[in-house]
């Protein structure tokens, strides 16, 4: 049994079977539709979420786990030493809430800001858990997590600016201008912030740009790859196949983004999260 437990928030987007296989405790974030509150990834599946988003045209809001939620996860792990990986602190207070919980925990908890999200964060938690399974100490597990966090990238495009506008990630004017010019943006999540990397004019070119960026980073190395999507499974599968045909992919995952991410991006998000050994 590992000496160190790994805990992550649900923004890490880890498929349930992977989290269970590696023994990672997932702390659900919260999603609010009207007066109803759901635990992310537990009470509402991604497919149900996007169906409701399209049907009801109702805005969704998100909130982070409480210190009590994190403390419960720390205690469920059954270990006195824990590495807790959180979504980027620049976009969420999860790091702060987990840190409050760590102060109340009877054991030793290190809280690590992944400075990223979705499966880019997920890879950080996965590699930390693999190190823990190998019998590493908390310091060694944390070092591996920081190493992976420093080289993991996330590149994506969205189907519409509307949900980014609603969430405050872009202004109404920016969303209007992009829509009128029919811009399909490609952005990279880097050091806790979304940075535009291309302004393509078609969906096809946006997806091709993601492929090019991913393959350029992969080079001749061993690539750990996740293709993420929001109600765009066919495009995600096609993107995965194209990258696998041209790169040395040693690990691959296709997963639909969790509702707390989809609430900000809307349906149509497609991207890659990856790192090279």
Domain boundary among 149, 175, 194: 149
Residues 6+ apart with CB under 8 A from 32: 38, 60, 61, 62, 63
Q: Is 254 in the same domain as 180?
A: yes
Is residue 51 a part of any domain in this protein? no
Does the structure show a pLDDT above 50 at 51? yes
In this structure, what token pair is assigned to residue 112? 């690590």
Could you tell me if 117 and 88 are in contact, meaning their C-beta atoms sit under 8 angstroms apart? yes
Q: Which domain holds residue 110?
A: 5-29+64-149
Q: Is 189 in the same domain as 120?
A: no
Q: Name the band, by pLDDT with cuts 50, 70 and 90, for residue 180.
A: very low
In this structure, what token pair is assigned to residue 213? 């960026």
Q: What is the pTM of this model?
A: 0.92
How far apart, in Å, are the Cα atoms of 214 and each of 84, 119, 180?
A: 28, 14, 29
Mean local confidence (pLDDT), 252-273: 91
Q: Is 182 in the same domain as 133?
A: no
- From the centroid of its chain, how far is CA 104? 27
In the prediction, which pLDDT does 179 show? Answer: 52
pLDDT tens-digit profile of 112-122? Answer: 999 999 999 99
Mean pLDDT in the chain? 89
Q: Is 169 in the same domain as 204?
A: yes
The total number of structural domains that make up the chain: 2
Q: Is 71 in the same domain as 126?
A: yes
In the prediction, which pLDDT does 171 show? Answer: 45
Q: Which CATH number fits the domain that encloses residue 201?
A: 3.30.1180.10
Question: Within a 10 A sphere around the Cβ of 161, how many other Cβ atoms?
Answer: 23
Domain boundary among 149, 164, 190: 149
Q: Is 186 in the same domain as 262?
A: yes
Place of tokens 């492929």: 211
Q: Is 112 in the same domain as 70?
A: yes
Quick one: 19 exposed, middle or buried, by C-beta within 10 A (0-12, 13-18, 19+)? Answer: buried
In the chain, pLDDT over 90 holds for what percent of residues? 66
In the prediction, which pLDDT does 166 show? Answer: 56
In the prediction, which pLDDT does 199 show? Answer: 79
Q: Name the band, by pLDDT with cuts 50, 70 and 90, for residue 47.
A: confident
pLDDT tens-digit profile of 200-240? Answer: 888 899 999 999 999 998 888 999 999 999 999 999 999 99
Could you tell me if 115 and 149 are in contact, meaning their C-beta atoms sit under 8 angstroms apart? yes
């Amino acid at each position: 049994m590992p000496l160190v437990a790994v805990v992550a928030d649900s923004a890490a987007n880890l498929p349930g079977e992977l989290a269970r296989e590696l023994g990672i405790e997932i702390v659900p974030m919260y999603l609010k539709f009207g007066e109803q509150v759901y635990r992310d990834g537990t009470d509402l599946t991604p497919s149900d979420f996007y169906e409701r988003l399209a049907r009801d045209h109702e805005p969704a809001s998100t909130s982070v786990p409480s210190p009590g939620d994190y403390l419960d996860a720390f205690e469920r792990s059954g270990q006195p030493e824990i590495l807790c990986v959180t979504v980027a602190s620049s976009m969420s207070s999860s790091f702060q809430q987990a840190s409050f919980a760590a102060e109340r925990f009877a054991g030793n908890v290190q809280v690590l800001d992944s400075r990223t999200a979705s499966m880019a964060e997920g890879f950080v938690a996965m590699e930390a858990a693999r190190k823990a399974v190998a019998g590493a100490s908390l310091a060694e597990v944390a070092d591996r997590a920081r190493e992976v966090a420093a080289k993991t990238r996330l590149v994506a495009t969205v189907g519409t600016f509307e949900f980014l506008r609603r969430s405050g990630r872009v202004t109404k004017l920016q969303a209007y201008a992009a829509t009128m010019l029919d811009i399909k943006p490609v952005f990279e999540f880097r050091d806790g912030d979304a940075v535009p990397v291309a302004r393509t004019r078609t969906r096809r070119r946006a997806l091709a740009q993601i492929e090019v960026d991913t393959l350029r980073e992969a080079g001749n190395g061993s690539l750990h790859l996740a293709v993420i999507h929001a109600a765009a499974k066919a495009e995600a599968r096609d993107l995965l196949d194209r990258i696998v045909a041209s790169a040395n992919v040693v690990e691959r995952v296709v997963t639909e983004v969790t509702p707390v991410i989809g609430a900000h991006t809307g349906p149509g998000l497609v991207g890659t999260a990856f790192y090279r050994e």
